[in-house]
């Protein structure tokens, strides 16, 4: 029997997409052992925005969260999303920090590292992949999916080959916007399976409603695994429902390894949680609906809503159509980058600025300047020569890897922090999010001294 591997995203992408990553550990602690019995290929539970959100909003140590998950999930592989040289943030870190982060993530419980670079510049994932392999864990390399005149099957197949050569254990096609259609998925998976020997996974979102059909065709073409979310946290900006996909693939003659009785228990648990979140206003049921505008404009749903709120804030919502027309032009000028963080923000803000100022590239954002200089990596296509001249003058953009210009940072920061950091994990939290981590350390200190005081006075 053919197999489709299922990765459950409820603890990471689903809750990141539906409730802005505000699900505290205490809300899912009670279901971890059940999740472990469902038969998932893996449980995506860390990385992406979860790390930042733990420190910033939930007053949780992200490393401790990972250890607690690991202590209850003993059979299922734990998976994280890792932004290559950006780790979990928006800027590039030196290699020593990337290596330390991978090593400690592995030590604290991560088995599968899904690693991507927004520009598909694989020099930016090489260090992370290498360290994951050194740690004896699974390195999954990503291809960020985008549609443009310069992206075609040959190019994607070549990317797959490059990843295979790098030594990744599997490849994930990452469709962060949910705009990949069924035929595109079929052709792309087929092209990859014909050019590499590795398992191929597909990650998409339900935003436009295409996802279940897209998954079906991808699997038909030989896709080895897909990402789904338990039904009460599925749909809309999240992933397609686990139970529905399981049911469909069983009917089509595939085995998933999932136990539907256990899935029912998991869903009952999260259904209650969803009701709480809707009642408290944390979850807006609208995000679970289907939004087909992304198909019309060919930009991710999240980017569209950002543009709308940005224009509203500037009393310029009447310019929306102009900005939407300018967006693909800016993307073309930048050499067709995939519209994933941070490129989606960069392109959107620059398009809005071009329209609101009334002259193209009169004001160029700091981020676009760095991008044109080559500090984010290699642009997929040619950068417009006029824009290039405007930013660079007579200088040449950098062709080497930006991280090579960065000094090692870990030991130096560790020394500076002294007792503020209790362990190497704390040092990494601080390097990733300095102010937020510092505030968290302080609160942790206060909370513990109160607990000690309480214990002493009670005696």
Q: Among residues 179 and 311, whose Cβ is nearest to Co ion?
A: 179
Hey, what's the torsion of the CAs at 113, 305, 230, 253, to 10 degrees?
-80
CB of 434 to Co ion, least distance (A): 26
CB of 227 to Co ion, least distance (A): 8
User: The tokens of 271 are what?
Assistant: 């259904």
Write the CB contacts of 349 (distance below 8 Å, at least 6 apart in sequence).
310, 365, 367
CB of 296 to Co ion, least distance (A): 21
Task: Tell me the β-bridge partners of 78.
Answer: 43
CB of 211 to Co ion, least distance (A): 11
Q: Among residues 177 and 323, whose Cβ is nearest to Co ion?
A: 177
Q: Among residues 13 and 291, whose Cβ is nearest to Co ion?
A: 13
CB of 313 to Co ion, least distance (A): 26
| CB 204 within 8 Å of CB 194 | no
Distances (CA, A) of 387 to 120, 200, 373, 435: 22, 37, 11, 35
Q: Which stretch binds Co ion (CB under 5 A): 5-13, 98-106, 248-256, 435-443?
A: 5-13
CB of 174 to Co ion, least distance (A): 7
CB count within 10 Å of CB 314 equals 11
CB count within 10 Å of CB 92 equals 24
Q: Which stretch binds Co ion (CB under 5 A): 8-16, 147-155, 372-380, 416-424?
A: 8-16
CB of 176 to Co ion, least distance (A): 5
The contact pattern for Co ion, residues 183-202, with x = CB under 5 A and - = no contact, is --------------------
Q: Among residues 31 and 229, whose Cβ is nearest to Co ion?
A: 229
| Number of shown-chain residues binding Co ion (CB under 5 A) | 1
Q: Among residues 13 and 425, whose Cβ is nearest to Co ion?
A: 13
CB of 344 to Co ion, least distance (A): 12
Q: Among residues 17 and 350, whose Cβ is nearest to Co ion?
A: 17
Among positions 63-122, residues that touch Co ion (CB under 5 A) are none
Is residue 44 at the binding interface for Co ion, with CB under 5 A as the rule?
no
Q: Which stretch binds Co ion (CB under 5 A): 13-21, 58-66, 137-145, 210-218?
A: 13-21
CB of 44 to Co ion, least distance (A): 9
The span from the CA of 288 to the CA of 268, in Å, is 18
Is residue 13 at the binding interface for Co ion, with CB under 5 A as the rule?
yes
Is residue 175 at the binding interface for Co ion, with CB under 5 A as the rule?
no
CB count within 10 Å of CB 264 equals 13
Q: Which stretch binds Co ion (CB under 5 A): 11-19, 98-106, 132-140, 413-421?
A: 11-19
Q: Among residues 19 and 372, whose Cβ is nearest to Co ion?
A: 19
Q: Which stretch binds Co ion (CB under 5 A): 6-14, 193-201, 370-378, 421-429?
A: 6-14
Q: Which stretch binds Co ion (CB under 5 A): 10-18, 134-142, 214-222, 386-394?
A: 10-18
CB of 376 to Co ion, least distance (A): 20
Whether omega for the bond prior to residue 151 falls within 30 degrees of 0, making it cis, is no
Q: Among residues 16 and 354, whose Cβ is nearest to Co ion?
A: 16
Among positions 391-420, residues that touch Co ion (CB under 5 A) are none
Among positions 331-350, residues that touch Co ion (CB under 5 A) are none
Q: Which stretch binds Co ion (CB under 5 A): 12-20, 100-108, 129-137, 440-448?
A: 12-20
Q: Among residues 13 and 61, whose Cβ is nearest to Co ion?
A: 13
Q: Which residue is nearest to Co ion (CB)?
A: 13
CB of 226 to Co ion, least distance (A): 12
Q: Which stretch binds Co ion (CB under 5 A): 9-17, 125-133, 135-143, 317-325?
A: 9-17
Which positions lie near Co ion, rule CB under 5 A? 13
């Amino acid at each position: 029997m053919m197999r489709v591997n299922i990765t459950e995203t409820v603890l990471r992408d689903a809750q990141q997409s539906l409730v802005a990553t505000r699900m505290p550990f205490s809300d899912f602690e009670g279901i971890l052992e059940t999740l472990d019995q469902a038969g998932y290929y893996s449980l995506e539970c860390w990385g992406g925005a979860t790390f930042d959100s733990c420190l910033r909003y939930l007053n949780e140590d992200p490393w401790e969260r990972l250890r607690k998950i690991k202590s209850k999930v003993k059979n299922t592989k734990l998976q994280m999303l890792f932004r290559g040289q950006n780790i979990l943030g928006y800027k590039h870190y030196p290699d020593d920090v990337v290596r330390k982060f991978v090593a400690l993530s592995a030590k604290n419980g991560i088995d599968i590292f899904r690693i991507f670079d927004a520009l598909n510049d694989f020099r930016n994932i090489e260090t992370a992949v290498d360290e994951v392999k050194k740690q004896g864990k699974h390195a999954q390399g990503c291809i960020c999916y985008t549609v443009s005149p310069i992206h075609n099957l040959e190019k994607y197949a070549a990317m797959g080959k490059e990843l295979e050569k790098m030594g990744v254990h599997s490849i994930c096609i990452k469709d962060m916007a949910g705009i990949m259609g069924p035929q595109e998925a079929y052709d792309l998976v087929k092209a990859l399976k014909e050019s590499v020997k590795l398992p191929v996974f597909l990650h998409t979102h339900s935003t436009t409603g295409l996802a279940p059909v897209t998954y079906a065709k991808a699997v038909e073409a030989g896709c080895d695994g897909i990402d789904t979310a338990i039904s009460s946290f599925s749909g809309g900006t999240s992933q397609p429902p686990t139970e529905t996909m399981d049911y469909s693939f069983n009917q089509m003659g595939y085995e998933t390894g999932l136990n539907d009785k256990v899935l029912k228990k998991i869903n009952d648990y999260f259904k209650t949680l969803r009701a709480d979140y809707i009642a408290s206003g944390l979850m807006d049921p609208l995000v679970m609906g289907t939004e087909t505008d992304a198909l019309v404009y060919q930009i991710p749903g999240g980017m569209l809503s950002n543009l709308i709120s940005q224009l509203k804030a500037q009393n310029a919502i009447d310019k929306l159509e102009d900005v939407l027309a300018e967006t693909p032009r800016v993307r073309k000028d930048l050499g067709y980058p995939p519209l994933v963080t941070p490129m989606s923000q960069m392109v959107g803000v620059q398009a809005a600025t071009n329209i609101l100022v009334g002259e193209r590239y009169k004001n160029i954002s700091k981020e676009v300047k760095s991008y044109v200089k080559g500090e984010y990596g290699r642009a997929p296509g040619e950068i417009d020569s006029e824009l290039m001249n405007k930013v660079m003058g007579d200088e040449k953009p950098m062709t080497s890897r930006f991280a090579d210009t960065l000094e090692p940072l870990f030991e130096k920061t560790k020394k500076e922090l002294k007792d503020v950091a209790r362990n190497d994990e704390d040092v990494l939290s601080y390097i990733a999010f300095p102010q937020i981590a510092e505030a968290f350390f302080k609160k942790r200190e206060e909370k513990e001294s109160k607990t000690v005081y309480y214990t002493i006075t009670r005696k």
